Structure 1
């Protein structure tokens, strides 16, 4: 993750960051308490969004609603730019624990 804008950098209402997922990787299963907008610049990803399988590729934009469990994976890797309102917290669906990811803080 590479942060472009966040409250820690003086932003007041929006966080913006770049995600670079390595080939053969997947992110954790989680939900966010705010909406996120993902724009894929390179590569492709498989997204499990509340049990619905989505395929996204370079040039696609995906709006992920708040409070919906998701997980992304990629066989070939991808780069995406993500925007989210702040504050924004990740939620572990198994434990209910909340955490503010450092790239959003």
Structure 2
């Protein structure tokens, strides 16, 4: 059986660094995956963190520099980055254009960071 999630049912979560719009997640009818959009203002910088599961990011607008496991990866429109599980990372939106990306990962994924206990982010659950 398929599940239809209407645009009006997409869930928006805003943090100091970005706005995430959840299109599908376990609490919205998906069985195991989550799909969301990340919008970061120009120059926004996300926190240092790691995810327990693999994530796939595709840039649909703007650009970013992703620091992952000690490497800096520049991303532009149309680029896709597969971020491995447990790899320390930080996302930096382009200073002029910001970042607009579509992301998918496990629906029970947890985020952790320096001095923080692992939690399932609201936009993934």
Higher RCO (CA-CA < 8 Å; seq separation 6+): 1
Larger Rg: 2
**Deviation >3 Å, runs of 4+:** none
List gaps (5 residues or longer) in structure 1: none
Alignment match, 2:45: 26
What do residues 39-91 of structure 1 show as CA deviations (whole Å, max 9, x unaligned)? Answer: 00011101100111110000000000000000011213010000001210001
Q: Distance in 1 between matches of 2:61 and 2:48?
A: 22
Pairs aligned (count): 104
From 21, 39, 45, the counterpart of 1:2: 21
Q: Distance in 2 between matches of 1:86 and 1:8?
A: 9
**Given the two structures, how large is their TM-score scaled by the length of structure 2?**
0.81
Higher strand share: 1
